[in-house]
Amino acid sequence: MLDREPIRGDLAHPWIDFRAVRWDHPGIRYAVDDLAMRFEEDRPDRGEFDPEDRDLRGMVLRSALASVWIEANRTGTSRADGLASGEISLQSAGDWELVNLHRLLMSPETHTPAEPVDVKAMLAAHEAQMERLLPAPDRGALRRCQVMVGPYVAPTAADVPGLLDGLIGWLGHGFGGWDEPTPRGAARAVVRAFLGHLAFEQIHPFVDGNGRMGRWLETRLMLEHPLIDWAYAYNGPLWYWDEQMRYYGALDGAARRCDPSVFTDFCAERFGFGAEIGRRGEPEPRMETFSASFPAKPAP
């Protein structure tokens, strides 16, 4: 742990000083180089987002379902299909959790962002995601209490606004070249999304829903780049679910070592395989949980 206090508006986090993270960081540079080679070999044309496209709708639903499964939601795939289509009425908190996230992922704010993400967009996304799940004062509002992030104490509530402002500024100006319409620009945009996910989880700005919000933010950040297609952007939660203990281990390891490349290395390793799942429209063979029977998996 770094021996420093968070600095308002500067993202000097008590775990990782994100101000020091640059493209020339050895681990970050490795992830960018690896992903740039992937984009050189496969330059997808994502085209327009068509909400009537059955394969695309299925991809987004799988993304939402995997993200809530990580949070120990046990909605099965058959019920998820019915909830998403409106054939089944919403009856439980688990139903709302899935449907709210699915609607958010299907929204133009996510799939066709007009501007880079900002705090206002994050607050609006949290309010939409937590409908019927949190009381009104806590939906779309930064937390006013102290929370734990696993074994760690998150930054104080008083520090959260400054840290979140710092995160937005860092995402916008801390990394040059992420918006270039080239394979290397796309690779940088992907790693930027991984780092945004990591930093968001460490700030933990909301009283609840931070895990789903962090995975949503990663998807949203990827879709700010024109060369990153739907399969790449939406399938992150599938591999996070499939490698759930490694996912938590990478988040934890990045904090313990004060090294964000622990997380980006893990993400880059799984990135191409996860995207390929989405293109095939099939679950990964090891993901037995993507079946109607949905065998139980221990909650973290």
Listing DSSP states for 106-124 in one string gives: HSHHHHS-SS---HHHHHH
Query: Quick one: pLDDT at residue 119?
Result: 95
Q: Rounded to 5 degrees, what are φ and ψ at 21?
A: -85, 120
Query: Quick one: pLDDT at residue 95?
Result: 97
**Class at the top of the CATH hierarchy for domain 18-280:** mainly alpha
Report residues of the chain scoring pLDDT below 70. 1-15, 19, 44-45, 271-300
Q: How many CB atoms lie within 10 A of CB 22?
A: 11
Query: Quick one: pLDDT at residue 48?
Result: 87
Query: Quick one: pLDDT at residue 271?
Result: 66
Mark out the alpha helices in 157-298 (DSSP H runs).
160-173, 183-203, 210-222, 230-234, 236-242, 244-257, 261-280
Query: Quick one: pLDDT at residue 255?
Result: 83
Angle of the 210-222 helix axis to the 54-70 helix axis, nearest 10: 140
| DSSP H or E segment with residue 38 | helix 26-41
The predicted-structure confidence for 148-191, as pLDDT tens digits, reads as follows: 877 778 889 998 999 899 899 888 877 788 999 999 999 999 99
Asked if 74 contacts 97 with a C-beta cutoff of 8 angstroms, the reply is no
Residues 6+ apart with CB under 8 A from 97: 68, 71, 73, 133, 212
Query: Quick one: pLDDT at residue 204?
Result: 94
If you write DSSP's letter for every residue of 82-108 in order, what string do you get?
Answer: HHHHTSS---SHHHHHHHHHHHHHHSH
Model pTM score: 0.87
Residues 6+ apart with CB under 8 A from 271: 35, 38, 190, 232, 239
Using CB atoms within 10 Å of the CB of residue 118, give its burial: 0 to 12 exposed, 13 to 18 middle, 19+ buried: middle
The predicted-structure confidence for 55-85, as pLDDT tens digits, reads as follows: 899 999 999 999 999 999 999 999 999 999 9
Residues 6+ apart with CB under 8 A from 272: 38
* Tokens representing residue 257 in the block: 């070592």
